[in-house]
């Protein structure tokens, strides 16, 4: 399939008089890292919220792999193949790292929680598959030593990685991350850069919302710029850096970062 993995068509999300996302049309291409940047309040998180079924669109459409996502619930969007992380990690603090990642695995298309709960045929196979995959992911992301720790007791940086692991456990085709590097130390951000590139290297399309310009410029193949709910620009990192409109709306104020 060569078409864009995600098509945003005339999308709007208004909150009363606030036009958080206002008639945005853009594409997220398959198999690359696309960054979504813009000033505070530009509508980046709102766009992710609409695309992931967390909040409904006021108008317009989100199409994923040719299938309309607008109008679907977040669990249906996840089953279709979109995973996401949140600006503030949304984990279960009283569950362990392993349990949090298992939750992600149960959101996978072919795994049925009902089948597992009712011990119907296929339940054991589902559970075994989930178990093996979870162990592999915990190992790969360096979470194995803390697998039995409660997530609420972990440092912030590790919580961010657990949220990534949970998203990967659902075997997404598109992974949307909302400011995964915010609140992290410089060394942790370096680790995140490698992780993002590794995820993309597996063929997972990434949509990265991020204010850390070094991280954006060193990972993104394409950049979308939002400002006041509108798409201000889209292009390669070089094109975006050279854009006067982007400089005055956003990059100027972040030049020192
Ligand atoms: N649930 C809501 N109810 C009312 N207004 C909202 C809601 N969510 C977002 N907004 C408003 O929509 C606008 C866009 O917010 P959004 O959080 O999408 O911006 P953002 O680009 O993610 O900003 P930041 O970089 O600070 O995270 C803001 O004016 C915000 O106050
Ligand atoms: Mg945001």
* Dihedral angle, C-alpha 4, 107, 92, 130, nearest 10 °: -120
Residue by residue, DSSP assigns 224-238 as EEEETTEEEEEE-HH
CA–CA dist 23, 14 (Å, integer): 10
What is the predicted pLDDT for the residue at 2? 61
Residue 181 has pLDDT above 80, yes or no: yes
pLDDT confidence bin for 1, thresholds 50/70/90: low
CA–CA dist 150, 255 (Å, integer): 39
Residue 182 located in a structural domain: no
Domain that holds residue 90: 82-171
| Residue whose CA is at the smallest distance from ligand 1 atom 3 | 15
| Residue whose CA is at the smallest distance from ligand 1 atom 31 | 41
Compute the average pLDDT of residues 124-142. Answer: 86
**Same domain flag for 111 and 50:** no
**Same domain flag for 99 and 145:** yes
Tell me which long-range contacts 40-45 makes (C-beta under 8 A, separation of at least 24): 41/228, 42/226, 42/227, 42/228, 42/229, 43/13, 43/226, 43/228, 43/229, 44/178, 44/209, 44/226, 45/87, 45/178, 45/209
Residue 179 located in a structural domain: no
Coil, strand or helix: which one is 60?
Answer: strand
Average pLDDT of the residues of the chain: 91
Is 0.85 surpassed by the pTM of this model? yes
**Same domain flag for 160 and 129:** yes
Residue 257 has pLDDT above 70, yes or no: no
Residue 177 located in a structural domain: no
Tell which one of 16, 37, 45, 181 to mutate to probe ligand 1, the residue whose CB is within 8 A of the most ligand atoms: 45
Residue 166 located in a structural domain: yes
**Same domain flag for 21 and 51:** yes
Q: Are 116 and 103 a contacting pair, CB within 8 Å?
A: no
Residue 140 located in a structural domain: yes
- At 251, give phi and psi (nearest 5°): -65, -30
How confident is the model over 21-70, as pLDDT tens digits?
999 999 999 999 999 999 999 999 999 999 999 999 999 999 999 999 99
**Same domain flag for 49 and 30:** yes
CATH number for position 127: 3.40.50.300
How far is C-alpha 203 from the geometric centre of its chain's CA atoms? 15
Tell which one of 37, 41, 50, 52 to mutate to probe ligand 1, the residue whose CB is within 8 A of the most ligand atoms: 41
CA–CA dist 26, 232 (Å, integer): 11
Distance 43 CA to ligand 2 centre (A): 7
What is the predicted pLDDT for the residue at 245? 86
Number of domains in the chain: 2
| Residue whose CA is at the smallest distance from ligand 1 atom 2 | 15
**Same domain flag for 56 and 86:** no
Nearest atom, ligand 1, residue 48 CA: 18
């Amino acid at each position: 399939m060569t078409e864009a993995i995600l098509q945003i068509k005339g999308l709007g999300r208004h909150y009363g008089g606030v036009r958080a996302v206002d008639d945005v049309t853009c594409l997220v291409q398959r198999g690359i890292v696309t960054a979504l940047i813009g000033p505070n309040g530009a509508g980046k998180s709102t766009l992710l919220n609409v695309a992931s079924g967390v909040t409904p669109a006021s108008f317009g459409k989100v199409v994923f792999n040719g299938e309309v996502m607008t109008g679907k619930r977040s669990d249906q969007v996840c089953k279709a193949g979109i995973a996401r992380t949140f600006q503030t990690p949304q984990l279960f603090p009283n569950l362990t790292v392993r349990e949090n990642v298992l939750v992600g695995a149960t959101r996978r298309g072919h795994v049925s929680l009902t089948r597992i709960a009712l011990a119907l045929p296929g339940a054991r196979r589902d559970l075994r598959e989930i178990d093996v995959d979870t162990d592999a992911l915990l190992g790969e992301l360096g979470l194995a030593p803390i697998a039995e720790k409660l997530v609420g007791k972990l440092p912030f940086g590790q919580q961010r990685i657990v949220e990534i692991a949970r998203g990967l456990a659902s075997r997404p085709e598109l992974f949307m991350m909302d400011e995964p590097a915010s609140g992290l130390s410089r060394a942790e951000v370096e680790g995140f850069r490698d992780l993002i590139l590794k995820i993309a290297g597996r063929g997972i399309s990434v949509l990265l919302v991020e204010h850390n310009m070094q991280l954006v410029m060193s990972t993104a193949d394409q950049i979308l710029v939002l400002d006041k709910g509108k798409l201000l620009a889209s292009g390669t990192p070089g094109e975006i850096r050279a854009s006067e409109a982007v400089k005055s709306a956003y990059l100027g104020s972040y030049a020192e970062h």
